[in-house]
Amino acid sequence: MQDAVIPPVSGGAPSIWRAPDLSLRWWPVFLRHLLVWRKLAIPSLVGNIAEPLMWLVAFGYGMGALVGQVQIGEVKVPYILFLASGSICMSSMNAASFEALYSAFSRMHVQKTWDGIMNAPVSLDNILMAEMLWAGFKALFTVTAILGVMLALGISHSPKLLVAWLVLFAAGIAFSCIALIFNALAQGYDFFTYYFTLFLTPMMFLSGVFFPREQLPGPLRTASDWLPLTHAVELVRPMFMDQWPAHWLRSALVLAAYTAVAFWVALALTRRRFRA
């Protein structure tokens, strides 16, 4: 017997709130998602951009004719520009949320893909990291396609759109982190309907996507100051107008805070789910 090398008695499970334990092992998991998606990319592309384009056409051109110009600060812009710059943020949010809820839940709970991966030397933390980045990537892919259409339509040709593109990726990451909290809590797909109807849909209307937030009554407007989508729109819209956002640091910090806190909470709840 080699008693000396036998490790000491372990004392139960560590806290679910411990710091993330990440390595580069999230990459093969991300690559797995990419390989699956590559098989379905074209139909997925159509689905991803068809809906936002319908919004743009119906509201932008239809309502735009009625609305005319929208006042933003000192300047007036055509409604289609106002709507395009807001709805692309919404598309990023929807794409990331959908992937981090329905698709991640399928992999985690239905197909048991995560369980299979965890039998290899890949930790749960790295699997969640891969899901988070993957949902961010899906958002990036969607906004890239929509941005391409918007450029073709001549809605904006500002070079600052390149920066907006990165902001939209960051917003996708933030929304995927928030969605992963709900993924960790879900017992079935039905649960996500609540998330969409009680959280994302109201946020869509409160964050200045379709109309300026100045139109909102006082308390609602104060609440909307703290919504992540509001800050994504505040960052992206000026760049569509070839301007830099006035309060970029504040908005960037709010999005960063949502990302960090949501990822930490999502990680803790996911660890709790898998510890049982």
Partner 1 sequence: MSDLLFEARSLCKRYGGTTVVNDLSFGIARGECLGVIGPNGAGKTTTVRMCLGLTAPDSGSISYFHADGAGPGWSMPRDALAVKAQLGVVSQFDTLDPDFSCAENLLVYGRYFGMKEAQIRERIPRLLEFAALSHKADAKPSELSGGMRRRLSLARALVNDPRLLLLDEPTTGLDPQARHLMWERLQLLLQQGKSILLTTHFMDEAERLCSRLLVLDHGKKIAEGRPRDMIARLLEPDVVEAYGNGALQLVDSPLKAFAARVEVSGETVFFYTQDAKPLLAALAAHPQLRTLHRPANLEDLFLKLTGRQIREEG
| Minimal distance, residue 109 CB to partner 1, in Å | 12
> Is residue 103 close enough to count as binding partner 1 by CB under 8 A?
no
> Is residue 274 close enough to count as binding partner 1 by CB under 8 A?
yes
The residue range among 8-16, 50-58, 65-73, 78-86 that interacts with partner 1, by the rule CB under 8 A, is 8-16
Copy the structure tokens of residue 137.
């990537």
Nearer to partner 1, 128 or 171 (CB): 128
CB-CB neighbours of 73 under 10 Å = 10
- Spatial distance between the Cα atoms of 58 and 40, rounded to a whole number of angstroms: 28
Nearer to partner 1, 196 or 274 (CB): 274
Helix (H, G, I), strand (E, B) or coil at 20: coil
Nearer to partner 1, 36 or 65 (CB): 36
Q: What binding mask, one character per residue, do residues 120-139 give for partner 1 by CB under 8 A, x or -?
A: xxxx----------------
| Minimal distance, residue 55 CB to partner 1, in Å | 30
Nearer to partner 1, 13 or 50 (CB): 13
Nearer to partner 1, 76 or 275 (CB): 275
Residues 13-52 that bind partner 1 (CB under 8 A): 13-14, 25, 28-29, 31-32, 35-36, 39
- Spatial distance between the Cα atoms of 89 and 143, rounded to a whole number of angstroms: 8
Helix (H, G, I), strand (E, B) or coil at 238: helix
Spatial CA neighbour of 113 closest among 36, 213, 170: 36
- Spatial distance between the Cα atoms of 233 and 101, rounded to a whole number of angstroms: 23
Copy the structure tokens of residue 256.
């960063």
> Is residue 116 close enough to count as binding partner 1 by CB under 8 A?
yes
Q: ∠ CA(169), CA(171), CA(175), 5° rounding?
A: 120
Residues near 255 by beta carbon (within 8 Å), at least 6 away in sequence: 170, 171, 174, 228, 231, 232, 235
Residues in touch with partner 1 (CB under 8 A): 1-2, 5-14, 25, 28-29, 31-32, 35-36, 39, 111-113, 115-123, 274-275
